[in-house]
Amino acid sequence: MLNTMSKHTLPDLALFGGTPLFAEKRFVGRPNLAPTDEILADMRQILDQRWLSNDGPYLKGFEAMLCQSLGVKHSIAVSNGTIGLELLIRALNLTGEVIVPSFTFIATVHALQWLGLTPVFCDILPETHTLDPQSVAALITPRTSAILGVHLWGLPCEITALEALAEQHGLKLIFDAAHALLCEYRGRKLGNFGHAEVFSFHATKFVNSLEGGAITTNDDALAERLRLMRNFGFVDYDQVEALGINAKMNEVCAAVGQSSLRHSANFIAHNRSNYRLYHKQLAQIPGLKLLPLPESSNFQYLVLALEQTEFGLSRDRLVQLLHAENLIARRYFYPGCHRAQPYAQLYPAAGAHLPVTEALAEKVLLLPTGTAVSAEMIEEIGELLGFVQSHAAAISAAI
């Protein structure tokens, strides 16, 4: 619930002893959910059938829905997005070095390092926060086996340029599409590009399966290898023909994924409305710039860049203040993978080649959106941010 107390003076701020704006914590990525009755009906059917895992009807249905929604030939559902990346890396027999952005969730890079590959950190474009093709080209060596792009915030990579580089140098091209379900590149749904793309259906994603992921590809042979690897290499009831692992999605997660995907248009519409309301609220606040998103976006993230000289406070100081108000804003993807362990120790000089990444890591701020966020909440958040900016000098002195 909202606290009805407005912020008129510094002592009204929770950081200085006032009552928090929100009585409960408001998180980035609070799950969107289909109607409870719909989910429970599926749960009852699963329990009645006693088919809980191992390529059950809900799993097959979820994969079919993904293929239809994305216009892709194959969808291989897995237990989570990280294991999806790892399966894909092994299925493509990647070796040596893989070029990857540092400005991404740590799992993207962990998947490479976990399997013994060397992540080569690449800088990003300031407009989209995705791989800079010119920087990619400069990092290609004889040890490079692949380019791993990330469609961050649902904004697609410069796919055409990356495809040209991959073809020129004989490299594999794959994408982490965890943020990009139902988004597009030049009128075509993401999930259809490179050798394959990997999606996440973690609870924080706008379409979720509680926990889960999927690999999409139009390559028949690759899809067959991935399905074998997902299930210990079994090709029949008791016949194993390849090295594999247990990466299967269970029926409960697949059922929730189906329900969530059925309601995805409503989720996107709510996100889009929230985005427009935030834009209206923040447009007149100096130092806060909302990341532009195309209409083909899923709008699942509300991404700001804070310019300290204009706003009057640092991003991190603002986060401290907002957390006190129970508004749990996030510093994605601070401090950048190259500055997290073990990479800071393994590649201590990486930051020297990542000026855009280093700058964005100090200024990006995410605010809550999704179906748990109402228009009234956004209005209150906008008023709070406006008050903080207009009193930034006094707040800084008081802190």
Degrees to nearest 5, angle at CA 300 with 296 and 305: 95
User: Rg of the Cα trace of the chain?
Assistant: 22
- Mean pLDDT, residues 355-371 taken together: 98
Q: What pTM was estimated for this model as a whole?
A: 0.96
- pLDDT per residue over 184-223, tens digit each? 999 999 999 999 999 999 999 999 999 999 999 999 999 9
- pLDDT per residue over 68-102, tens digit each? 999 999 999 999 999 999 999 999 999 999 999 99
**Per CATH, the architecture of 10-27+264-329+368-398 is what?**
Alpha-Beta Complex (3.90)
Q: Would you list the domain boundaries of the chain?
A: 10-27+264-329+368-398, 36-262
- pLDDT per residue over 215-266, tens digit each? 999 999 999 999 999 999 999 889 999 999 999 999 999 999 999 999 999 9
**Per CATH, the architecture of 36-262 is what?**
3-Layer(aba) Sandwich (3.40)
Annotate 268-290 with b (16+ C-beta within 10 A) or e (fewer). bebbbebbebbeebbeebebbbb
- pLDDT per residue over 125-160, tens digit each? 999 999 999 999 999 999 999 999 999 999 999 999
* φ/ψ (deg, to 5) at 102: -85, -25
Residue partners of 9: CB distance under 8 A and separation at least 6: none
6 pLDDT exceeds 80?
Answer: no
Q: 7: pLDDT confidence band, cut at 50, 70 and 90?
A: confident
- Mean pLDDT, residues 30-34 taken together: 96
Query: Taking a C-beta distance cutoff of 8 angstroms, is the pair 47, 350 a contact?
Result: no
Q: What is the pLDDT of residue 237?
A: 85
CA distance 396 to 304: 21
- pLDDT per residue over 164-175, tens digit each? 999 999 999 999
181 pLDDT exceeds 50?
Answer: yes
1 pLDDT exceeds 50?
Answer: no
* Bond from prior residue into 342 cis (ω within 30 degrees of 0): yes
CA distance 392 to 372: 29
Q: 357: pLDDT confidence band, cut at 50, 70 and 90?
A: very high
The rounded mean pLDDT for the chain is 97
**Element containing residue 318 per DSSP (H, E):** helix 315-324
Nearest to 279 by CA among 391, 179, 378: 378
